[in-house]
Amino acid sequence: MADIDSPYPDSLGKLVEVFARLPGVGKRSAERMAFYFLKCGKEEAMDFAFAIRDLRKNLRSCTICFNLAEGEICAICSNPARDDSQLCVVEMPRDVIAIEKTGSYRGLYHVILGRISPIEGIEPDDLKIKELFIRIENGDFEEIIIATNPTAEGDATASYLADKIHPLNIKVSRLARGISAGTEIEFAGLANLQSAFLGRSKI
């Protein structure tokens, strides 16, 4: 603390440093957050540390749909109340969370873990697309809803998937463009996502 460059005691400085790595957190906010742990009870601090540890320890990819799962199979795939005639294809687990928040959809999901991007060298084989078609062939889906992001790459991925699903004689739809172009599904907002789900169109 004698050093002008580091006014913090070591343990506090370390915590400020790790908090400042979080998205959207500057040095000043990181300091406020670190101070919080000096004031809060020991139990609460441990609660926090354990929550981070447990996330890494407990969360894995669902072996069916590649959504986040606490065990082998995620809470959605293992829920018998979900409608197994509908399958919604999304890029990432965070898109599942955003759609679940709307309460507009009660079917199943398939997370392809990315989008086709020739520029970044991401080919269909790098995504969980092979697994998607194994599911479609073995399942009894009446509708595949493609909910990739409304970006150039998301659109290209949707077209690629639609072209491969059409010959299978299953209805394919995309979310209505109630979502404004360029917006990520994750940040689209409840109302936009809800109308997008209701206005989805066959493609």
Between 47 and 163, CB nearer to a second copy = 47
Taking the C-alpha atoms of residue 90 and residue 148, their distance in angstroms, rounded to an integer, is 5
Going by C-beta distance under 8 Å and a sequence separation of 6 or more, which residues neighbour residue 95? 111, 147, 149, 185, 186
Residues from 20 through 49 that contact a second copy (CB under 8 A):
21-25, 29, 31-38, 42, 44-49
- Which region among 9-17, 117-125, 175-183, 193-201 touches a second copy (by CB under 8 A)? 9-17
Between 1 and 134, CB nearer to a second copy = 1
Number of chain residues interacting with a second copy (CB under 8 A): 62
For the window 50-89, what string marks contact with a second copy as x by the rule CB under 8 A? Answer: xxxxxxxxxx-------xxxx---xxx--x-xx-------
Between 83 and 142, CB nearer to a second copy = 83
Q: Which two tokens stand for residue 185?
A: 């599904």
Residues from 107 through 166 that contact a second copy (CB under 8 A):
none
Between 5 and 140, CB nearer to a second copy = 5
Between 37 and 133, CB nearer to a second copy = 37
Q: Which of 72, 85, 97, 199 binds a second copy (CB under 8 A)?
A: 97
3-state secondary structure the chain: CCCCCCCCCHHHHHHHHHHCCCCCCCHHHHHHHHHHHHHCCHHHHHHHHHHHHHHHHHCEECCCCCCEECCCCCCCCCCCCCEEEEEEEECCHHHHHHHHHHCCCCEEEEECCCCCECCCCECHHHCCHHHHHHHHHHCCCCEEEECCCCCHHHHHHHHHHHHHHHHHCCEEEECCCCCCCCCCHHHCCHHHHHHHHHCCEEC
Q: Which of 63, 72, 85, 101 binds a second copy (CB under 8 A)?
A: 101
Residues at the interface with a second copy (CB under 8 A)? 1-2, 4, 7-12, 14-15, 17-18, 21-25, 29, 31-38, 42, 44-59, 67-70, 74-76, 79, 81-82, 93-94, 96-98, 100-101, 103
